[in-house]
Amino acid sequence: LECNQDAMFSDLLGEMDLLTQSLGVETLPPEPPSSSSKEMNFSMGFADMNVESLNELEENDLDALMADLMADLNDTEEKLGGQKEAEAPHTDLPPASHGFSFYPESSLSTPTSPERGPNTFSAPLEEIEAQMKADKIKLALEKLKEAKVKKLVVKVVMHDGSSKTLMVDERQTVRDVLDNLFEKTHCDCNVDWSLSETNPELQLERGFEEHENLVDPLSAWTRDSENKVLFQERPDKYEVFKNPQNFYLWKKDKKTIKDMKDRDKELLVEENFCGTSIIVPDLEGVLYLREDGKKSWKQRLFLLRASGIYYVPKGKSKTSRDLVCFVQFDNVNVYYGKEFKNKYKAPTDFCFVLKHPQIQKESQYIKYLCCDDAWTMNLWVTGIRIAKYGKSLYENYKTSMKKAAITTAWTNRTAGTTSIPSTPSPTTKAKASGQANGHAPQPPAEPVAKVGNAPPPPPPMLPTQILPPPPPDPVLPPPPPPLANKKSPPATSVPRQLPSLPTSFPPSPTSMANLPPPPPSLSQDDSSESPPDFLPPPPPTLGFGPGAGSLPPPPPVSFLPPPPPDPGFPLPPPPPDPAFCPVTNRDSLPAPPPRQSNIGAGAPPPPPPPPSASAGLQSTPSVRRTGPPPPKRTTPPLAAPGGGDFMSELAKAMAKKRGNQ
Amino acid sequence: MGQNSHSPVLMAVWDLSVTVEDLGADAPPITVSVTSDLHIGGVILKLVEKSQVKRDWSDHALWWEQKQQWLLRTAWTLEKCGIQADAGLIFMAQHKSLRLGLPNGLTLRLRACFSGPVFRTVLGICKMLNIRRPEELSLLRPVEEKKRKKDKDLSEELHDLTEVPLTSVSRPCLYNGMPAHFADSLQTEKVYKMLSVSQPAPAPEAIAKLYRPASVVDKAHIHSRWLDSSRSLMQQGVQQNDRLWLRFKYYCFHDLEPKYDVVRLTQMYEQARWAILLEDIDCTEEEMLLFGAIQYHINKLSLTEPQTMTSSPAMDDLDSALQGLEVKLDGAESSPQDMLENLTAPELNDYLKIFRPKRLTLKGYKQYWFKFKDASISYYKSKEESLGEPIQQINLKGCEAAPDVNVAGQKFCIKLLIPAPEGMNEVYLRCENEEQYSRWMAACRLASKGKSLADRLFQSEVQSILSFLAMQQTNPNTHTDDSMSINTHSLVSPRYSKKYKVKQLTPRILEAYQNVAQLSLTDALLRFLQIWQALPDFGISFVVVRFKGSRKDEVLGIAPNRLIRIDLGVGDVVKTWRYNNMRQWNVNWDIRQVAIEFDGNVNMAFSCVTADCKIVHEFIGGYIFMSTRSREQSDTLNEELFHKLTGGHEAL
Query: Tell me: the pLDDT tens digits for B128-146?
Result: 999 989 999 999 999 876 6
Do B335 and A142 count as a contact with CB atoms less than 8 A apart?
Answer: no
Lowest mean pLDDT among A158-172, A309-323, B149-163: B149-163
Query: Tell me: the pLDDT tens digits for B378-400?
Result: 999 888 888 888 888 888 888 88
pLDDT over threshold 90, residue B640 = no
Q: What residues have CB less than 8 Å from B46, skipping those under 6 apart? A: B32, B34
B180 near A CB under 8 A: no
Contact A528, A581 (CB under 8 A): no
pLDDT over threshold 70, residue A480 = no
More confident residue, B515 or A653: B515
Residues 106-125 of B with CB under 8 A from A: 113, 115-117, 120, 124
Return the percentage of chain B with pLDDT > 70, whole number: 84
Kindly report the nearest CA distance between residue A46 and chain B, in angstroms: 17
Query: Tell me: the pLDDT tens digits for B159-178?
Result: 888 877 766 665 556 666 67
Residues 364-423 of A with CB under 8 A from B: 364-366
pLDDT over threshold 80, residue A486 = no
Distance between CA atoms of residues B539 and B535, nearest Å: 9
Q: For an interface test with A, which of B328, B535, B565 has the most A Cβ atoms less than 10 Å from its Cβ?
A: B328
- Per-residue buried b or exposed e for B272-309, using 16+ beta carbons within 10 Å of the residue's own CB: bbbbbbbbbbbbbbbbbbbbbbbbbbbbbbbeeeeeeb
Query: Tell me: the pLDDT tens digits for B433-444?
Result: 888 999 999 899
A502 near B CB under 8 A: yes
Alpha helices, DSSP H only, in A51-164?
59-85, 98-102, 116-120, 125-148
Q: Which of A137-141, A147-151, A160-164, B39-43 has the highest mean pLDDT?
A: B39-43
- Show residues of chain B in contact with A532, CB under 8 Å: 58-59, 94-95, 113, 124, 166
pLDDT, residue A211, reads 94
- Give whole-number Cα distances, B511 to B257, B292, B497, in Å: 30, 11, 17
pLDDT, residue A325, reads 95
A14 near B CB under 8 A: no
CA angle B135, B136, B142 (to 5 degrees): 110
Residue B344 confidence class, pLDDT cut points 50, 70, 90:
low
Q: Which of B56, B287, B638 faces A585 most closely, judged by CB atoms?
A: B56
Residue B467 CB neighbour total at 10 angstroms: 18
Residue B525 CB neighbour total at 10 angstroms: 28
pLDDT, residue A538, reads 41
pLDDT, residue A258, reads 85
- Give whole-number Cα distances, A567 to A530, A562, B258, B512, B554, in Å: 17, 12, 21, 44, 42
Residue A127 confidence class, pLDDT cut points 50, 70, 90:
confident
pLDDT over threshold 80, residue B497 = yes
Do A635 and B327 count as a contact with CB atoms less than 8 A apart?
Answer: yes
Do B419 and A358 count as a contact with CB atoms less than 8 A apart?
Answer: yes
B256 near A CB under 8 A: yes
| CA-wise closest residue to A394 among A251, A275, A289, A560 | A275
Do B327 and A633 count as a contact with CB atoms less than 8 A apart?
Answer: yes
No. of H helices and E strands in chain B?
18, 26
pLDDT, residue B348, reads 86
B617 near A CB under 8 A: no
pLDDT, residue A148, reads 74
pLDDT over threshold 70, residue A158 = yes
pLDDT, residue B314, reads 42
Mean pLDDT of chain B, nearest integer: 83
pLDDT, residue A304, reads 96
Do A145 and B284 count as a contact with CB atoms less than 8 A apart?
Answer: no
Residues 602-641 of A with CB under 8 A from B: 616, 619-620, 622-625, 629-630, 632-637, 639
Phi–psi pair at B411, nearest 5 degrees: -115, 120
Quick one: average pLDDT of B374-380?
A: 87
Quick one: average pLDDT of B105-121?
A: 93
Distance between CA atoms of residues A616 and A607, nearest Å: 15
pLDDT, residue B159, reads 83
Residue A658 confidence class, pLDDT cut points 50, 70, 90:
low
Kindly report the nearest CA distance between residue B154 and chain A, in angstroms: 32
pLDDT, residue B284, reads 94
Contact A293, A364 (CB under 8 A): yes
Report the complex ipTM: 0.84
Q: Which of A104-108, B1-5, B465-469 has the highest mean pLDDT?
A: B465-469
B533 near A CB under 8 A: yes
Q: Which of B336, B400, B628 faces A331 most closely, judged by CB atoms?
A: B400
Burial of A45 per CB tally in 10 Å (0-12, 13-18, 19+): middle
The residue of chain B nearest to residue A508, with distances taken between CA atoms, is: B641
pLDDT, residue B148, reads 52
pLDDT, residue A487, reads 38
B343 near A CB under 8 A: yes
Residue B322 confidence class, pLDDT cut points 50, 70, 90:
very low
- Give whole-number Cα distances, A198 to A221, A373, A435, B513, in Å: 11, 21, 14, 35
A137 near B CB under 8 A: yes
Query: Tell me: the pLDDT tens digits for A563-587?
Result: 444 444 444 444 444 344 333 344 4
The residue of chain A nearest to residue B81, with distances taken between CA atoms, is: A527
For residue A62, give the amino acid letter. Answer: L
B177 near A CB under 8 A: no
Q: Which of A465-479, B77-91, B135-149, B398-412 has the highest mean pLDDT?
A: B77-91
pLDDT, residue B618, reads 93
Quick one: average pLDDT of B347-359?
A: 81
Contact A343, A200 (CB under 8 A): no
Kindly report the nearest CA distance between residue B152 and chain A, in angstroms: 33
Quick one: average pLDDT of B107-114?
A: 93
pLDDT over threshold 70, residue B261 = yes
Please report the number of interchain residue pairs, chain A to chain B, with beta-carbon separation below 8 angstroms.
356
Quick one: average pLDDT of B19-33?
A: 88
- Show residues of chain B in contact with A127, CB under 8 Å: 332
B419 near A CB under 8 A: yes
Q: Which of A93-102, A637-646, B638-647 has the highest mean pLDDT?
A: B638-647
pLDDT over threshold 90, residue A239 = yes
Phi–psi pair at B290, nearest 5 degrees: -70, -40
Quick one: average pLDDT of B64-90?
A: 90
Query: Tell me: the pLDDT tens digits for A462-472?
Result: 333 333 444 44
Q: Which of A186-195, A460-469, B452-461 has the highest mean pLDDT?
A: A186-195
- Show residues of chain B in contact with A593, CB under 8 Å: 39, 41-42
Q: What residues have CB less than 8 Å from A630, skipping those under 6 apart? A: A642, A649, B317, B320, B321
Q: For an interface test with A, which of B64, B167, B339 has the most A Cβ atoms less than 10 Å from its Cβ?
A: B339
Quick one: average pLDDT of B233-260?
A: 92
Query: Tell me: the pLDDT tens digits for B307-321?
Result: 444 444 444 444 454
- Show residues of chain B in contact with A625, CB under 8 Å: 313
Q: Which of A118, A278, A362 faces B328 most closely, judged by CB atoms?
A: A118
B633 near A CB under 8 A: yes
Quick one: average pLDDT of B190-206?
A: 89
Do B113 and A532 count as a contact with CB atoms less than 8 A apart?
Answer: yes
pLDDT, residue B629, reads 84
Q: Which of A130, A134, A590 faces B44 most closely, judged by CB atoms?
A: A590
The residue of chain B nearest to residue A634, with distances taken between CA atoms, is: B324
pLDDT over threshold 90, residue A387 = yes
Distance between CA atoms of residues B578 and B562, nearest Å: 4
pLDDT over threshold 90, residue A273 = yes
Q: What is the DSSP string of A323-377?
A: -EEEE-STT-EEEEE-SHHHHH--SSS-EEEEE-TT--S--TT-EEEE-SSHHHH
pLDDT over threshold 90, residue B452 = no
Contact B66, B31 (CB under 8 A): no
pLDDT, residue B10, reads 66
A284 near B CB under 8 A: no
Residue A75 confidence class, pLDDT cut points 50, 70, 90:
low
